[in-house]
Amino acid sequence: MGKRIVLRFTMQDSSKEKADDSGAMPINVSPDEQRTTSCFTHLEPVMTDSSPISATSSTPNIAPPPPQSFANHRRLPSLAYMLAFVVLTIELVVRVVDVAKAPSLSAAWSVVVVLALIVVAYYARMNALIVQDRVIMLEMRLRLSRVLSSEQHGLIMKLTKGQLVGLRFASDAELSTLVHAAITESLSNKAIKQRVSNWQADWQRV
């Protein structure tokens, strides 16, 4: 149990009749003036028991994410993106049916518009993956130059993009062995991931 300091205020009337050191006569003050001139003149600390406040008492317990492994590491697009792509696909089918039933320039143009939206959605996803792969390649080349011995630095530039992405999930202790196997055995991205024994999770991929 913790202790809490409470300041207790004591009321003291400053208008009481007092005689000064010179022996002057006390001044009589009316009751109304006594009420208006009273003030707090004394603070007295009082120790009281207080239970400590827990910062997490009202915070719900959030379960940590499951351990990542080769079996569950694949990242799918967000639900909102997938729903939007499904809606655009359905809209394309509807517009094509409309054109087939009643051909017109406006109906054909609506098909073109829906196709353009689908292309934009597709390349928005693909461009994000391309940027992600380039960042992983740079990250892994810097990491390998730090982890590998100077004799193995020449192997770094021989690794393909897929091999570098697969090595992303390996620990530092097994990178040297996996790099050598990836080059000598021409391992694919999937084969490298399957050989990782100490999986390093990555939850920030797009």
pLDDT digits (tens, 9 = 90+) for 121-142: 999 999 999 999 999 999 999 9
Q: What is the mean pLDDT of residues 177-192?
A: 94
- Beta-carbon contacts of residue 180 (< 8 Å; ≥ 6 apart): 152, 155
- Domain ranges within the chain, ordered by starting residue: 79-195
Query: Residue 129 in contact with residue 161, Cβ under 8 Å?
Result: no
| pLDDT for the residue numbered 47 | 54
- Beta-carbon contacts of residue 138 (< 8 Å; ≥ 6 apart): none
CA 189 – CA 182 distance, rounded (Å): 9
| pLDDT for the residue numbered 131 | 95
Q: How many CB atoms lie within 10 A of CB 126?
A: 10
Give the burial class of 8: count Cβ atoms within 10 A of its Cβ; 0-12 exposed, 13-18 middle, 19 or more buried: exposed
φ and ψ of 76, to 5 deg: -95, 155
Confidence of residue 90 (pLDDT cuts 50, 70, 90): very high
| pLDDT for the residue numbered 205 | 77
Query: Residue 160 in contact with residue 187, Cβ under 8 Å?
Result: no
Share of the chain above pLDDT 90, in %: 55
Confidence of residue 19 (pLDDT cuts 50, 70, 90): very low
pLDDT of 171 above 70: yes
CA 200 – CA 202 distance, rounded (Å): 7
Query: Residue 91 in contact with residue 107, Cβ under 8 Å?
Result: no
| pLDDT for the residue numbered 59 | 55
Query: What are the tokens at 184?
Result: 């000598």
The amino acid at 160? T
CA 96 – CA 83 distance, rounded (Å): 20
Q: What 8-state DSSP symbol labels residue 203?
A: -
| pLDDT for the residue numbered 67 | 81
170: closest CA among 91, 46, 73, 36? 73
pLDDT of 184 above 80: yes
CA 25 – CA 13 distance, rounded (Å): 19
pLDDT of 60 above 90: no
| pLDDT for the residue numbered 69 | 76
Q: What is the mean pLDDT of residues 161-169?
A: 94
